[in-house]
Structures are given as structure tokens and as C-alpha cells.
């Protein structure tokens, strides 16, 4: 699937044996997995990309294999990384890289896997991974935060970190004070984490070398469908819309990507491009690649649904939350999960890459 500036229409698979995903079946193991995180050449990224294309196309068999693997080995945040690789044909970025690539800044949200993989691909450059320590909007499993030591280098998931990567924790919305400018700034899944995007783009512009590139990749809420199978009365749509409204009320909406192009241009960037993609929310698509994307997306959504919901839904209304009890949230999420399992609901999430260049001076 070539990278194009338009969004492709996804055709649904009408030849399915059941209208609902059977977790009792797909969650079972039964398929031997010969790979491991430690032995896969090129790290976990290549492992998962190979896994996605090497297994038989039989959906049940594929999903069994995926569930068996992810339940024992794969970090939830890393799973999103592999979704990104499938989305962009195995590439770590959609933006064309500048000819000069000495310093790269990964504005982080997650375990640092992108920095590790990028540094392996580009040993000639220095990669700075900086995890934003703002927790007020975080959708990340709190367990990840325990692995980080503030304002110092840190070990990421006990993996071997390339020598050209350094890791830091800092508040990305505070003034940037770096010793040298960057050639490439990469930011992914920061929607919901940044209050002041114009300030972020201004600081990015000031800290990029002339001719440098910035790229942002983010999902856009609420969920939608092209054939109206996701109705506005459905639990899944209501959940995604309420989550968007809650984060917007707290100061950082989950639809920030739709404004990136205009904000980048206002900050002075040129050659702004938008690459639009879709994440099916389960295996409803007919196309094999989209079907596999849907299987991974379903695993990602089911695993992270509670964590993504509780903070926003249970916060008091006075600070932008919905004021629900934990019990109310879990009852509601029961219906959301039913919608996620429903193969007759052809829902997806927009996922956009927006990139731009700082003009030569």
C-alpha cells in the first residue's frame, strides 16, 4: 500500500464465518512461536513485521498466534509501534529525511522503541529520546513511569540500547534549552498530552537546523465508519466522543492532528504534507493487509480500553472529567467491547502523519 495523500476506502469482508469475534477461540494459544525478543535480527520491530506477513492468512490461526505472542512478550505501547509499522509499510517515518542527519529528537510517549530502531538504522546520527513527564493527560500504563529516572539516562525495557541513543525525562512544554539544533524532530502519539501546540511548533522551529524536518503521527477521535455501520447511538462512538470531549475540556483534545498543518505553517514551516491512513478496529476489512491491521488494532484496543478510559471518565467534572465511578465506567465498557467485537460494525480510527520542513536560510 503506497503512501498517498488521500485516504483509501476500505472494503468490508462479507464472507465471514461469524458476525462477532470469539475471544474464547482467538485468545487460545496453540501455535508455536519460534522467535523471541532477544534473538530476532534487528530487534522486536523486525520480528513483528515478519510475524504479520509470514503467518498463514487464515484469520483465526493468525489471531491465535498474535494473542499467544502478545500475551506473553509484547509491551502494550510497543504493540502500537508495530501497528505504525504495518500502517506505513515497515517504515519508521513517512517524512523524507533531510540529507544532513546528525541529530534527531524523538519527542517521546512510550518505551523508546522508535529511538532504538531508528538509531539502529542510522548509526551515523545521535538520537535523543525525551519522554514527556506530564501525567495529567497520560494514557500510558503507570507501570512504564516506574522505569524512568527523571532527568537522567535510563534503561528501556531491559533492551540493548544503541550507543548513539540518549534517554531523558523532561517537561516538553517548558522552554527548550538544548546545546545544539536538530535535523529531524519526530513526535508520535502526543495528542492529548500537549496543551499549547503553537508553542510546541514554535520551539520545534527554533530548535531545527535550516532544511530540517518535523513529523507528527497521531490518531484522531472520534471513531467513525464510511458506511454508517458505526451509529452515533453505539457505545463505541459514544465512548470515543466522550473521551474527545473530556480531553478537550482538560485542555488537550484528541483531535489535535487536524490542526497540525495550519499550525505548522503559522510557525514558519513550509512544504507541509498530510499522509492520511486508517486503523480498522477489528478484522472486518476484506483486504489482507487491512485485515491484519484490524487484528492488531483490536488487540491494542481491547488491552488498553480501561486504562484509556478511567482517568478521563472518573475525574471530577470541575476539572474536565465526566465524574463517573469506576463501576459505572466498567459497565459502560462492557458495551464498548461488544461493539469492538462486532464484525458488522466497520469502524476505524483516522491516523495521520503530518510533516514539514524548516526553510533554508
Q: pLDDT (tens digit, 9 = 90+) per residue, 263-314?
A: 999 999 999 999 999 999 999 999 999 999 999 999 999 988 998 899 899 9
Element (H, E) at 204: helix 197-206
CA dihedral over 297, 298, 304, 305, signed as positive or negative: positive
How many CB atoms sit inside 10 A of residue 9's CB?
8
pLDDT confidence of residue 361: 76
- For the ranges 25-39, 125-139, 160-174, 321-335, the one whose mean pLDDT is highest: 321-335
37-55 mean pLDDT: 33
77-90 mean pLDDT: 88
Q: How far apart are CA 246 and CA 350, in angstroms?
A: 19
pTM: 0.81
pLDDT confidence of residue 143: 36
pLDDT confidence of residue 290: 94
Query: pLDDT per residue over 306-340, tens digit each?
Result: 988 998 999 999 988 999 999 999 999 999 999 99
Q: How far apart are the first and last CA of the chain?
A: 36
Percent pLDDT > 70 in the chain is 74
Cβ contacts of residue 13 below 8 Å, gap of 6+?
283, 284, 285, 286, 291, 343
* DSSP secondary structure, 133-158, as one string: ---TT--S-HHHHTT--TTS----TT
pLDDT confidence of residue 71: 44
Residue 215: pLDDT over 70:
yes
Average model confidence (pLDDT) across the chain? 80
Residue 69: pLDDT over 80:
no
Residue 230: pLDDT over 80:
yes
Nearest to 322, CA basis, from 222, 254, 248, 246: 246
Residue 7: pLDDT over 90:
no
Percent pLDDT > 90 in the chain is 61
Contact 218, 197 (CB under 8 A): no
pLDDT confidence of residue 23: 60
Amino acid at each position: 500500500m503506497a503512501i498517498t495523500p488521500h485516504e483509501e476506502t476500505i472494503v468490508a469482508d462479507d464472507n465471514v464465518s461469524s458476525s462477532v469475534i470469539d475471544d474464547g477461540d482467538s485468545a487460545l494459544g496453540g501455535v508455536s512461536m519460534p522467535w523471541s525478543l532477544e534473538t530476532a535480527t534487528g530487534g522486536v520491530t523486525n520480528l513483528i513485521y515478519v510475524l504479520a506477513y509470514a503467518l498463514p492468512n487464515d484469520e483465526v490461526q493468525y489471531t491465535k498466534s498474535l494473542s499467544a505472542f502478545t500475551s506473553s512478550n509484547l509491551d502494550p505501547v510497543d504493540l502500537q509501534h508495530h501497528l505504525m509499522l504495518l500502517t506505513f509499510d515497515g517504515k519508521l517515518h513517512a517524512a523524507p529525511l533531510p540529507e544532513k542527519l546528525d541529530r534527531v529528537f524523538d519527542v517521546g510517549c512510550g518505551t523508546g522503541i522508535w529511538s532504538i530502531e531508528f538509531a539502529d538504522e542510522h548509526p551515523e546520527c545521535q538520537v535523543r529520546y525525551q519522554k514527556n513527564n506530564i501525567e495529567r493527560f497520560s494514557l500510558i500504563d503507570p507501570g512504564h513511569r516506574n522505569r524512568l529516572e527523571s532527568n537522567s539516562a535510563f534503561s528501556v525495557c531491559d533492551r540493548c540500547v544503541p550507543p548513539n541513543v540518549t534517554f531523558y525525562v523532561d517537561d516538553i512544554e517548558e522552554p527548550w534549552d538544548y546545546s545544539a539544533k536538530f535535523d529531524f524532530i519526530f513526535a508520535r502519539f502526543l495528542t492529548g498530552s500537549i496543551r499549547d501546540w503553537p508553542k510546541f511548533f514554535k520551539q520545534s522551529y527554533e530548535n531545527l537546523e535550516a532544511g530540517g524536518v518535523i513529523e507528527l503521527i497521531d490518531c484522531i477521535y472520534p471513531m467513525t465508519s464510511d458506511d454508517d455501520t458505526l451509529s452515533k447511538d453505539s457505545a463505541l462512538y459514544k465512548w470515543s466522543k466522550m473521551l474527545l470531549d473530556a480531553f478537550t475540556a482538560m485542555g488537550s483534545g484528541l483531535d489535535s492532528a487536524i490542526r497540525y498543518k495550519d499550525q505548522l505553517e503559522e510557525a514558519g514551516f513550509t512544504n507541509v504534507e498530510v499522509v492520511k491512513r486508517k486503523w480498522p478496529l477489528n478484522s472486518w476489512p476484506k483486504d489482507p493487509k487491512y485485515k491484519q491491521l484490524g487484528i492488531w488494532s483490536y488487540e491494542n484496543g481491547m488491552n488498553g480500553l480501561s486504562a484509556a478510559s478511567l482517568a478521563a471518565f472518573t475525574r471530577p467534572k470541575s476539572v474536565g472529567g465526566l465524574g463517573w465511578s469506576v463501576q459505572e465506567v466498567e459497565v459502560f465498557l462492557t458495551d464498548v467491547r461488544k461493539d469492538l467485537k462486532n464484525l458488522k460494525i466497520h469502524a476505524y480510527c483516522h491516523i495521520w502523519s503530518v510533516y514539514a520542513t524548516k526553510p533554508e536560510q
